[in-house]
Amino acid sequence: MTGHPNQNNDKASRLPAYLLAAALLLAALCGFYTVSLKHALEDEAWRYVGEVAERVSTTINTSVSDTFDNLHAMGDTCVWLGRQEDPEAVIAYLTQASPRYGFLRMGIVELDGMAYTTAGTVTDLSGQPCVQEALRGADAVSGLQYLPEEPDTGSIIFAVPLRLDGKVIGALAAASPLSRLRETLDVESFSGEGFTQVIQPNGNFIFDSSNKNAIQGYNNYFTLLSSSCTLDRGYSVQGLQADIAAGRPGTLCYTTENGVHKVMNYMPLAVSDWYMLCVVPTEAATARTERIIHLAAFVNVAVAVLFLALIVLIIRMNRKSRDRLTALAYTDPVTGGHSRQWFEQEAAARIAAQPAGTYALVSADIRQFKLINDAFGSQDGNRTLRFVYRCIEAGLQPGEFVCRIAADTFNLLLRNAPEAEVAARLAGFAHAVNAHNNGLEQKYYLPLCAGVYVVTDPSLDLITIQDRANVARKQVKRRPDSRLCAYCYYTDQERLRMLREKEIDNRKEGALQNHEFVVYLQPKVSLEDGTVAGAEALVRWCDPVHGMVSPGEFIPAFEKNGFIVKLDRYVFEEVCRLLRRWIDMGKSPVPISVNLSRRHLDDPHFLDAYAAIFQKYGLPPKLIEIELTETLVLENLDALIRVIGEIHKLGFTCSLDDFGSGYSSLNILKDVPADVLKLDRAFFEGDMGDSRTRYIVESVLDLAKRLHMRTVSEGVETVPQVRFLADAKCDMVQGFAFARPMPAAEFEKLAFDGPPLTPHDATSPGK
Ligand code: C2E
Ligand code: MG
Ligand code: MG
């Protein structure tokens, strides 16, 4: 197959765009999902950092409260020893107990702030806020201290009041090395990446951290933040300070100078006003998260790729099945060539794209193809059609196409050329189609009938263009032609004829109701005495628009659409009414014949209506004659014989009309029991000078006589013809030589009141 419809191409070209859009949408969805997941997991990681901080703070709180508990117990021992008035024993006890609790040193503080220490020194601790607080009766702890005795080891002083009988009599102070509390802080978290620090509300470190990720060299956390870090996500040092001042916990994140993102959770400790900071590099906090996100992203991408692959697969499968369907739709199953659908799309596109007169559309069929099907069967019929297709296709030039439209009708789109050239090409096709006969003894021909329409108006739709070629083809078929290829060009007359036919079709019912159909009568003159022996009823259309219209113009159309059945009945009733009137007027009417269309035979009971009409007028049946045409006989002999029998039963006579107009067989005379034989005017074209015609007419008349049939010669126009027929013993003549068809009033005068008729030479308008 060549060429594909543009529509499909368009769709196919849009496909990648659709795919891209789908992929983008999918990517956006995956992106959105990944970001949402990232946020959710980040929140989760932050919550986890908070949990770790909580745990560490609990540890610190417990450790501090344990320390205070220990100091209280030791204080009680000291007070008891003090009551023994043995100060050395007190110091000795503390010196011995202190290392057990990990204190650097301890001291008993008098109410004036002087401390007696396990180092054997007396130190003034009145300036220590924690000692003062203990002397006021509360447990207290100091900030980071560097004791003069241990200048390198930071330490913290815990102080508890010493009470005797509920009264504060002094305080017990203990210096704990920072390293001991640090141990508590350095809880393994986030694989050692996280660390904990403790600050005072002013930001001063109680404990900083020795963790590798902790920034060193700062005493104050706020200073550390503002000078060596950038706070992320809108967090600020002021916000942190405000939270700490209000005792609120919280989280913030920042980036260090070397670009490490960190998340920090802060919360107040239960002891003192310390704040604990739990810091984790974001990467460490979200390491698990990142893994999940990466996994999710990978899964998303994999799903997207699979999805796309699936779409591509489905599209490819769809395209394949569509291509298969298209191939089926564009292939004619009988010929295996282009289908009608393909041809029509292609032809319409080509015609529209070229100037007027570029193409000629040819509608061609095979005369009497039905016979091939009947004789050889439909399989051989199909094989023949395939052969015809191939023969025509082989004779096409580039840019020309052929297809089988239906049955044995083909359409060809040919490049237009002068008529002789087109005719030669058509003849070439016909010769190729019939080449199989060469050398055959028993030849059977496949004659082509072709209608050619030169596309002079490319704006017409293809159906109209095809219709015009069809009209031309049908015109060819209407006339007998023995050539292998009979063709005819479409002309506007033919189109006008069809328009007229359409108009007739539209107006027929109205015309019948308005009595625009009028019955004319043509006398049948007896050759014995010149009297009017009968008449034929011939219908005319007295059209208010077109004037008098002859039956040749409208009868074929009515035969096609079936309206002729109604019209014939109408004519029959008019004839019955006329005969009734004549009888009522006291005249002796002559028999009148009416024509009966072949379409009546479609209804086996059609004669019932005739009988009913006839009975209504109470006429003698011999006044009615029914004319049946010879072609009707050929079509359906059995039905006709039955109908004639029924006509006879009604008492009517029956005539065989137009005998000799076609290729009549004498068998008709043998089989058809008609009463009257009407010789067609084909016998009387010319002046009867041809002896062969004369012999034939004489013989037919003689034969009819022997078969007891009366004879009427139609279309007799000259006096010599009348004389010849009189000599040949023809009974009647119906022809212009005596009278033309005339209105009933005129006929009455001629038939009932006038003298016998004498012939005269007349020339028909057609001659
Ligand atoms: P037909 O039945 O063979 O009628 C005879 C035709 O020959 C009439 O043509 C008549 O005018 C014509 N004719 C008679 N003598 C001559 C002559 O000397 N020279 C020439 N050139 N023609 C002559 P008309 O009236 O035009 O009718 C044509 C055909 O139309 C009729 O042929 C008949 O087949 C059909 N027709 C007419 N009226 C009716 C009708 O009511 N029903 C049916 N079904 N067919 C009708
Ligand atoms: Mg007739
Ligand atoms: Mg006739």
| 3-state secondary structure at position 529 | coil
Question: Is the distance from the beta carbon of residue 485 to the nearest atom of ligand 1 less than 6 Å?
Answer: no
Q: Among candidates 307, 284, 316, 273, which has minimal Cα distance to 188?
A: 284
Model pLDDT, residue 234: 86
357 has pLDDT over 50: yes
The pLDDT of 339-358, averaged and rounded, is: 95
Model pLDDT, residue 3: 41
Question: Is the distance from the beta carbon of residue 550 to the nearest atom of ligand 1 less than 6 Å?
Answer: yes
Tens-digit pLDDT profile for residues 396-426 = 999 999 999 999 999 999 999 999 999 999 9
Taking CA atoms only, the protein residue closest to ligand 1 atom 13 is 715
Q: Among candidates 385, 410, 380, 409, which has minimal Cα distance to 396?
A: 410
Q: What does each C-alpha distance from 513 to 445, 547, 579, 694, 741 come to in angstroms?
A: 50, 17, 22, 46, 23
The pLDDT of 14-19, averaged and rounded, is: 70
Question: Is the distance from the beta carbon of residue 731 to the nearest atom of ligand 1 less than 6 Å?
Answer: no
Tens-digit pLDDT profile for residues 602-631 = 899 999 999 999 999 999 999 999 999 877
Tens-digit pLDDT profile for residues 44-65 = 767 777 787 788 778 778 878 8
Question: In one letter, which amino acid is 9?
Answer: N
Distance of CA 683 to the CA centre of its chain: 64
Sheet with 140-146: strands ordered across: 122-124, 114-117, 105-109, 167-177, 154-164, 140-146
Question: In one letter, which amino acid is 752?
Answer: F
Q: For residues 195 and 213, give the distance between their C-alpha atoms in angstroms, rounded to a whole number.
A: 8
Q: Which residue has the higher pLDDT, 727 or 668?
A: 727
Kindly give the distance from the C-alpha atom of residue 538 to the centroid of ligand 1, in angstroms, as a whole number: 6
Other beta carbons within 10 angstroms of residue 487's beta carbon come to 22
Model pLDDT, residue 7: 52
Q: Which of 524, 558, 573, 595 to mutate to test the pocket of ligand 1 (most atoms within 8 A of CB)?
A: 595
Q: Pick the atom of ligand 1 nearest to 551's CA.
A: 30
How many angstroms separate the first and last alpha carbons of the chain? 54
Q: What does each C-alpha distance from 365 to 51, 346, 495, 570 come to in angstroms?
A: 94, 21, 20, 38
**Phi and psi dihedrals of 394, rounded to 5?**
-65, -25
Q: Pick the atom of ligand 1 nearest to 764's CA.
A: 21
Model pLDDT, residue 767: 40
The pLDDT of 112-131, averaged and rounded, is: 85
Q: For residues 96 and 483, give the distance between their C-alpha atoms in angstroms, rounded to a whole number.
A: 143
Kindly give the distance from the C-alpha atom of residue 721 to the centroid of ligand 3, in angstroms, as a whole number: 17
Question: Is the distance from the beta carbon of residue 523 to the nearest atom of ligand 1 less than 6 Å?
Answer: no
Q: For residues 204 and 484, give the distance between their C-alpha atoms in angstroms, rounded to a whole number.
A: 118
DSSP state, 220? B
Position 328 confidence tier, pLDDT thresholds 50, 70, 90: confident
* CB 442, CB 361: distance < 8 Å: no
Position 666 confidence tier, pLDDT thresholds 50, 70, 90: confident
Q: Among candidates 722, 717, 594, 716, which has minimal Cα distance to 655?
A: 594
Q: Which residue has the higher pLDDT, 82 or 363?
A: 363
Q: What is the mean pLDDT of the chain?
A: 87
Model pLDDT, residue 563: 97
Question: Is the distance from the beta carbon of residue 714 to the nearest atom of ligand 1 less than 6 Å?
Answer: yes
Q: Pick the atom of ligand 1 nearest to 564's CA.
A: 44
Q: Pick the atom of ligand 1 nearest to 734's CA.
A: 15
Q: Are strands 624-629 and 653-659 parallel, antiparallel or unpaired?
A: parallel
Structure tokens at 240: 């942190």
The residues, any chain, with a CB within 8 Å of residue 186's CB and separated by 6 or more, are 195, 196, 209, 210, 211
Q: For residues 79 and 579, give the distance between their C-alpha atoms in angstroms, rounded to a whole number.
A: 162
| Ion ligand 2: residue ranges with CB closer than 5 A | 595, 627, 657
Kindly give the distance from the C-alpha atom of residue 350 to the centroid of ligand 1, in angstroms, as a whole number: 48
576 has pLDDT over 90: yes
Structure tokens at 292: 């999940």
Q: Pick the atom of ligand 1 nearest to 741's CA.
A: 11
Tens-digit pLDDT profile for residues 198-255 = 888 888 887 777 777 788 888 888 988 888 888 888 888 888 889 998 888 888 888 8
Position 186 confidence tier, pLDDT thresholds 50, 70, 90: low
Q: For residues 325 and 316, give the distance between their C-alpha atoms in angstroms, rounded to a whole number.
A: 14
Tens-digit pLDDT profile for residues 243-286 = 998 888 888 888 888 888 888 889 898 767 788 888 887 777 66
Q: Pick the atom of ligand 1 nearest to 550's CA.
A: 26
Q: For residues 308 and 583, give the distance between their C-alpha atoms in angstroms, rounded to a whole number.
A: 95
Taking CA atoms only, the protein residue closest to ligand 1 atom 8 is 538
The residues, any chain, with a CB within 8 Å of residue 502's CB and separated by 6 or more, are none
Kindly give the distance from the C-alpha atom of residue 752 to the centroid of ligand 1, in angstroms, as a whole number: 23
Q: For residues 533 and 527, give the distance between their C-alpha atoms in angstroms, rounded to a whole number.
A: 9
Kindly give the distance from the C-alpha atom of residue 523 to the centroid of ligand 3, in angstroms, as a whole number: 13
Kindly give the distance from the C-alpha atom of residue 623 to the centroid of ligand 3, in angstroms, as a whole number: 19
Question: Is the distance from the beta carbon of residue 630 to the nearest atom of ligand 1 less than 6 Å?
Answer: no
pLDDT above 90 covers what percent of the chain?
44
Q: Which ligand is nearest to the CA of 559?
A: 1
Q: Among candidates 354, 490, 472, 363, which has minimal Cα distance to 415?
A: 354
Q: For residues 289 and 153, give the distance between their C-alpha atoms in angstroms, rounded to a whole number.
A: 40
Tens-digit pLDDT profile for residues 134-174 = 899 888 888 777 777 667 777 888 899 988 888 989 999 98
Q: For residues 322 and 9, give the distance between their C-alpha atoms in angstroms, rounded to a whole number.
A: 12
Helices and strands per DSSP (H, E), number in the chain = 23, 27
Position 4 confidence tier, pLDDT thresholds 50, 70, 90: very low
